[in-house]
Amino acid sequence: MTITLNGEKMEKNMGGADRAIRVTIGVVAIVLGITNQSWLGAIGLIPLLTAGIGFCPLYKVLGIKTCSSC
């Protein structure tokens, strides 16, 4: 599947396990950020967003794909 953002095509490059791990890390970071009143909560949005769209820009640069069907 291809995602288009601002006219640029982004192919999904993350598998289900990778996405689940990112969601878990993102939620934990957000909860810790809220409880400790730190910026960690805002940083926790990054793994949630990448898991939500199934695309990791760093994976693209490194040529990594963790999904079997892409």
Give residue-wise pLDDT tens across range 13-57.
Answer: 999 999 999 999 999 999 999 999 999 999 999 999 999 999 999
Residue 22: Cβ within 10 Å count: 20
- Strands 8-11 and 2-5, by their bridges, are antiparallel
The model's pTM is: 0.81
Q: How far apart are CA 36 and CA 10, in angstroms?
A: 35
* Nearest partner of 2 among 62, 64, 55, judged by Cα: 55
